[in-house]
Amino acid sequence: MHARHEVKTTGEGRWRRMTLADLAIVEHIARRVHPSYPEDISVIAERLALYPHGCLVFGGPHGVLGYTIAHPWMQAHPPRLNTRLQRLPVAPDTFYIHDLALLPELRRAGAGSAAVHLFVEQAGSKMLKTVSLVAVAGSTKFWRRHGFREVGHEVAGPALLSYGDAARLMVRSLL
């Protein structure tokens, strides 16, 4: 970790740790980017409290333009949408990317790829063998470019249904 919670620079901005002061802009970005996948701000605040290393915002000269939330978890049991976790698992088997939301002006600038790289590094440092996520809104192409592959619906169980019929559980092996 660099000074001042700075995490990764790309273009004219950088990923840094999310703070409580960022929650209002994170909520605004979430409403714009994921209107079909609403989550209460209390869910995001809980993830920040449970695993602050995985809660990042992308800031630059034009303010915060994106955020991402990730944490250790269990691959076969992705959390339901808009659900508080209560606690993280004692023996996680994956690093779960819960959300990556970028405003349109930040897309194709490398910020999403930089976030994926950061989370792959975090997974490796925790000795986790995979990174997983639920892909929504036609994002599977982006995730495939980063080494993620779809896993059958039966693996994810009913939690996947909370994200809609088009949602896909995707996993990247780190072995």
Q: What is the pTM of this model?
A: 0.90
Residue 59's domain is classified under what CATH number? 3.40.630.30
**How far is 167 from 169, CA to CA, in rounded Å?**
7
Interstrand relation of 63-73 and 6-10 (parallel, antiparallel or unpaired): unpaired
Domain that holds residue 60: 3-173
Give the count of beta carbons closer than 10 Å to the beta carbon of residue 174. 15
Contact 56, 22 (CB under 8 A): no
Give the chain's domain count: 1
Burial of residue 64 (CB within 10 Å: 0-12, 13-18, 19+) is: buried
The tens digit of pLDDT for each residue in 39-92 reads: 999 999 999 999 999 999 999 888 999 999 999 999 889 999 999 999 999 999
Q: Distance between CA 50 and CA 87 in Å, rounded?
A: 7
